[in-house]
Chain A
């Protein structure tokens, strides 16, 4: 299995632009998580899905952020308009419900820089 795939790996954009981050979870996994990591705030859970349905989006910082999961193999996190304070590494993770070890599998992350 290729693991969780994220694209792009690096994104540099200017303030005000729309940014779309993409994630392909591990095949067969039914939970998908989006995290954001910064030095100041650490690793924060933004939103998670179960069977393509958003379950908890309480971590989404504001309305500029939106996430979708149109099917079991694809999710997007969109920021519109982007701001410099959105600069961070964004991780996607997936897991399979019922796994006894409760393990989440993380992708390599997308490093976003908003100028």
Chain B
């Protein structure tokens, strides 16, 4: 498995604005997942994008994947205070089931 690196480390926005977080990785992947972690809780799976997909939507979430640049982005539209959390990407390649997480992006949505 390989580790994704999220950028920025922290992001503060106003409610209603869009939030964009980025993830870079180093080697080829089969898929890439995004997870959310609310303060004091475990990680929750948000969305998975496969290596042959370029964009995927789920509600207010939009994920893009550029395998040539080895990068992904997570866009949260019309953010809410409840979106305040840390967001982690997990690029996955190979046949094992390991996931390796970076340090995440801490998103703060101010009401």
List the interface of chain A (C-beta within 8 A of B): 4, 31, 33, 35, 42-43, 45, 48, 50, 55-56, 91, 93, 95, 97, 101-109
Contacts and interface: CB of A to CB of B under 8 A. Distances in A.
B41 interface: yes
A101 B101 contact: no
A47 to B, nearest CB: 10
Q: How large is the interface on B (under 10, 10 to 19, 20 to 34, 35 or more residues)?
A: 20 to 34
Contacts of A43: 43, 88, 101, 103-104
Q: Which 3 A-B pairs have the closest CB atoms?
A: A106-B42, A42-B103, A43-B101
B102 A101 contact: no
B41 A45 contact: no
Contacts of A104: 43, 45, 99
A55 B96 contact: yes
Given A42-B103, A108-B41, A102 B92 contact: yes
B104 to A, nearest CB: 7
A103 B41 contact: no
Nearest to B30: A102
Given A35-B101, A43-B43, 7 more contacts: A43-B103, A45-B100, A95-B97, A101-B48, A102-B97, A105-B45, A106-B43
B52 to A, nearest CB: 13
